[in-house]
């Protein structure tokens, strides 16, 4: 039933979550408010109980290097399906290998899951705790987006919202004055990530070359029926080959309906050309090197162009190189 695959999505999300908190510092000042010490708060992965046990078993670890306190730890504590972000389970999408852009790959839509995290902050001084907490909370309103490369094989990067769920605090200060104090806050987060299943490679990239739609017109009592068929052939809407066939021989403005080119031998009536970012349609070759055209085809902007600009022809070679995701000129306004 199952096949082996591993995208390391949970691992990547855990690591990315941890990097949010690996650059936090606190400052200690003297009575004249001058900074006497800057401490980078160490961050480790592990359960809260592990670090509390260490504090209790080694009460004399208060050294100048601050190996003991302050410090932070985080842990991945749970995983839950998120039905509110569910999409159609059988829906797929096709993309290309991000390395060579040629191999086509197909994947099912990812499954939404919520990852639960706990970040615990341990300090000896209350002011140290307040410094750390105040450097974290303003970034969550109530969420902060992490960009994670969920599936490298298809280049699928997504923003993963990380939401603060709640904050709890505890100050354990029992016993006599020689007993070590344990002050710690626990902040609970939810990361709304996605899990991908197996990704199929080597999917056919063949494009639809022709579409036919047939229907019956008329009725059987008053008029004879007719079988009407519409035929549509997709075409490229930009030049993929990059080969220039000629150049402009005169400057043209945005309203010009006629253009002068250096050579018309590679151009015919009813052909499409690209000049810079604009696509034009050749209505007629008037005479010699003069063309009558329609400007700004397929939603491209009408622009001014200078003499000497390269002109590219959109032809069958470009049709064969249509990229996945190209709308073939059918943007909803074709009919």
Contact 197, 107 (CB under 8 A): yes
pLDDT of residue 152: 79
Asked if 258 and 178 sit in the same domain, the reply is no
What is the domain extent for residue 137?
9-201
pLDDT of residue 329: 41
Asked if 136 and 267 sit in the same domain, the reply is no
* Residue 330 reports pLDDT greater than 50: no
pLDDT of residue 320: 72
pLDDT of residue 50: 66
Q: State pTM to two decimals.
A: 0.54
* Residue 165 reports pLDDT greater than 90: yes
Which range has the worst mean pLDDT, 41-45, 207-211, 310-314? Answer: 207-211
Asked if 170 and 262 sit in the same domain, the reply is no
**Which pLDDT band holds residue 177 (cuts at 50, 70, 90)?**
low
Residue 2 lies in a domain: no
Give me the CATH number covering residue 131: 3.30.2000.40
Q: What is the average pLDDT score of the chain?
A: 78
Q: What percent of the chain is predicted at pLDDT more than 90? A: 27
pLDDT of residue 196: 86
Residue 221 lies in a domain: no
Contact 88, 109 (CB under 8 A): yes
Q: What is the pLDDT of residues 32-72, one digit of tens each?
A: 888 888 988 888 887 766 666 665 555 554 444 444 678 88
**How far apart are the C-alpha atoms of 105 and 88, rounded to whole Å?**
19
Residue 329 lies in a domain: no
Residue 142 lies in a domain: yes
* Residue 316 reports pLDDT greater than 90: no
Residue 19 lies in a domain: yes
pLDDT of residue 326: 46
Residue 80 lies in a domain: yes
Asked if 108 and 22 sit in the same domain, the reply is yes
pLDDT of residue 317: 81
Asked if 251 and 156 sit in the same domain, the reply is no
Residue 134 lies in a domain: yes
> Bigger pLDDT: 196 or 48?
196
Residue ending a domain, choose from 201, 216, 233: 201
Give how many domains the chain has, as a whole number.
2
Asked if 193 and 248 sit in the same domain, the reply is no
**How far apart are the C-alpha atoms of 188 and 166, rounded to whole Å?**
6
Asked if 140 and 248 sit in the same domain, the reply is no
Alpha-carbon distances of 149 from 82, 156, 160, 173, 316, rounded to whole Å:
20, 6, 10, 44, 36
Asked if 196 and 72 sit in the same domain, the reply is yes
Interval 308-331 mean pLDDT: 69
* Residue 332 reports pLDDT greater than 50: no
Q: What is the pLDDT of residues 83-101, one digit of tens each?
A: 888 877 666 666 766 666 6
* Residue 73 reports pLDDT greater than 50: yes
Give me the CATH number covering residue 263: 2.40.10
pLDDT of residue 214: 55
Asked if 93 and 147 sit in the same domain, the reply is yes
Asked if 254 and 123 sit in the same domain, the reply is no
Residue 47 lies in a domain: yes
Interval 276-281 mean pLDDT: 91
Asked if 161 and 303 sit in the same domain, the reply is no
Three-state secondary structure string covering the chain: CCCCCCCCHHHHHHHHHHHCCCCCEEEEECCCCCEEEEEECCEEECCHHHHHHHHHHCCCCCCCCCCCCCEEEEEEEEEEECHHHCCCCCCEEEEECCCCCCCEEEEECCEEEEEEEEEEEEECCHHHHHHHHHHHHHHCCCEEEEEEEEEHHHCEEEEEEEEEEEEEEEEECCCCCCCCCEEEEEEEEEEEEEECCCEEECCCCCCCCCEEEEEEECCCCCCCCEEEEEEECCCCCCCCCCCEEEEECCCECCCCCEEEECCCCCCCCCCEEEECCEEEEEEEEEECCEEEEECCHHHCCCCCECCCCEEEEECHHHHCCCCCCCCCCCCCCCC
Q: What is the pLDDT of residues 121-146, one digit of tens each?
A: 988 888 899 999 999 999 998 889 98
Asked if 35 and 124 sit in the same domain, the reply is yes
**Which of 98-107, 151-160, 197-206, 275-284: highest mean pLDDT?**
275-284
**Which pLDDT band holds residue 239 (cuts at 50, 70, 90)?**
confident
């Amino acid at each position: 039933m199952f096949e082996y695959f591993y995208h390391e999505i949970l691992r990547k999300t855990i690591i990315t979550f941890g990097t949010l908190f690996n650059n936090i510092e606190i400052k200690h000042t003297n009575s004249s408010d001058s900074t006497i010490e800057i401490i980078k708060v160490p961050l480790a992965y592990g359960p809260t109980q592990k670090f509390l046990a260490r504090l209790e078993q080694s009460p004399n670890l208060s050294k100048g290097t601050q190996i003991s306190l302050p410090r932070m730890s985080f842990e991945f504590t749970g995983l839950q399906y998120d039905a509110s972000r569910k999409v159609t389970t059988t829906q797929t999408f096709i993309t290309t290998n991000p390395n060579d852009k040629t191999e086509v790959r197909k994947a099912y839509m990812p499954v939404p899951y919520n990852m639960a995290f706990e970040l615990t902050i341990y300090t000896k001084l209350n002011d140290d705790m307040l410094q750390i907490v105040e450097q974290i909370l303003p970034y969550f309103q109530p969420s902060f987006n992490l960009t994670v490369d969920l599936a490298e094989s298809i280049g699928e990067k997504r923003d993963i919202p990380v939401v603060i769920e709640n904050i709890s605090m505890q100050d354990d200060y029992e016993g006599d004055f020689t007993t070590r104090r344990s002050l710690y806050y626990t902040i609970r987060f939810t990361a709304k990530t996605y899990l991908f299943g197996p990704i199929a490679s080597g999917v056919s990239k063949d494009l639809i070359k022709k579409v036919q739609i047939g229907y019956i017109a008329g009725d059987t009592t008053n008029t004879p029926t007719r079988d009407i068929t519409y035929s549509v052939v997709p075409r490229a809407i930009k030049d993929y080959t990059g080969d220039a066939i000629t150049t402009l021989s005169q400057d043209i403005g945005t309203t010009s309906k006629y253009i002068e080119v250096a050579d018309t031998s590679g151009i015919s009536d009813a052909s499409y050309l690209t000049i810079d970012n604009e696509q034009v349609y050749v209505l007629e070759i008037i005479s010699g090197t003069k063309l009558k055209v329609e400007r700004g085809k397929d939603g491209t902007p009408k622009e001014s162009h200078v003499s000497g600009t390269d002109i590219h022809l959109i032809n069958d070679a470009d049709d064969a190189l249509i990229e996945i995701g190209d709308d073939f000129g059918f943007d909803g306004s074709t009919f």
